[in-house]
Amino acid sequence: GQQLNQSPQSMFIQEGEDVSMNCTSSSIFNTWLWYKQDPGEGPVLLIALYKAGELTSNGRLTAQFGITRKDSFLNISASIPSDVGIYFCAGQLGGNKLVFGAGTILRVKS
Amino acid sequence: SAVISQKPSRDICQRGTSLTIQCQVDSQVTMMFWYRQQPGQSLTLIATANQGSEATYESGFVIDKFPISRPNLTFSTLTVSNMSPEDSSIYLCSVESANYGYTFGSGTRLTVV
């Protein structure tokens, strides 16, 4: 089946640093989504991308839908302790189904 | 976003028994989905819950093991049948709506002993 390759698997950064993570696939997606999951909670949508080349920001978060429609990145600027958690990319194929990446665990040193 | 209430939030069950998980949405939605998240893993789609008809299951998931009901546009249930320790996971309800995109419930953490 379709797979998303998400990297890095985990990151341990200093507070205030910028963070970047990305997802790639051999498949073309119609939509790219970025979620954050805190312990004991379901994933919360951070950013949704609908067009190839689209660059969208949500506060300190910026994400882009790759031109080829096979990749996306998420940047977090000036990280803070509450940014810790697991970040997932997800791609939507036809038929409303989502495929998820393996996740990036973010840990922030204060 | 759409507000999703999922019950129970967690449970510990004996092997061989079944557990039914409920998902209630605060507005009518066309698409409802059930996902499984095994410990330390990503999310895998189990099935799409179709209103008024049988659910559409993904490869590796079958109706006998994971029966799903969708009696209306705001409610669905997932049953995990004849449980074994390998079924210990977080089960998540998700909806897709035109206004809010894809939203997830807080999940049901299931431990089978």
Q: Do B41 and A33 touch (CB under 8 A)?
A: no
pLDDT in tens, B20-55: 999 999 999 989 999 999 998 999 999 999 998 899
Asked whether the predicted pLDDT for residue A1 surpasses 60, the reply is no
Given pLDDT bands bounded at 50, 70 and 90, which one contains residue B100?
Answer: confident
Identify the residue with better confidence: A27 or B79: B79
Q: Do B101 and A48 touch (CB under 8 A)?
A: yes
Average pLDDT, chain B: 94
Asked whether the predicted pLDDT for residue B99 surpasses 80, the reply is no
Q: Do A43 and B59 touch (CB under 8 A)?
A: no
Q: Strand B31-37 relative to strand B43-49: parallel, antiparallel, unpaired?
A: antiparallel
Interface check for B111 against chain A (CB to CB < 8 A): the answer is: no
Identify the residue with better confidence: A94 or A15: A15
The beta strand positions in A8-60, using DSSP E, are: 10-14, 19-25, 31-37, 44-49, 55-58
Nearest CA to B37 out of B48, B29, B45 is that of: B45
Amino acid at A14: Q
- Rounded Cα distance between A58 and A76, Å, is 10
Q: Which of residues 60-89 of B touch A (CB under 8 A)?
A: none
Amino acid at B93: C
pLDDT value at residue B70: 96
Q: φ, ψ for residue B7 (rounded to 5)?
A: -135, 145
Q: Do A1 and B59 touch (CB under 8 A)?
A: yes
- Contact partners, residue B12, CB within 8 Å, separation at least 6: B111, B112, B113
- Contact partners, residue B39, CB within 8 Å, separation at least 6: B88, B89
- Rounded Cα distance between A41 and B26, Å, is 18
Q: For B85, which DSSP code?
A: G
- Joined together, the tokens standing for residue A73 give 């990145």
pLDDT value at residue A2: 60
Q: Chain A: residue nearest B30 by CA?
A: A96
Q: Strand A61-65 relative to strand A85-92: parallel, antiparallel, unpaired?
A: unpaired
Residue whose pair of structure tokens reads 């995990």 in the numeric block: B80
Nearest CA to B35 out of B50, B19, B57 is that of: B57
User: Looking at residues B65-76, what average pLDDT do you find?
Assistant: 96
User: Looking at residues A77-86, what average pLDDT do you find?
Assistant: 94
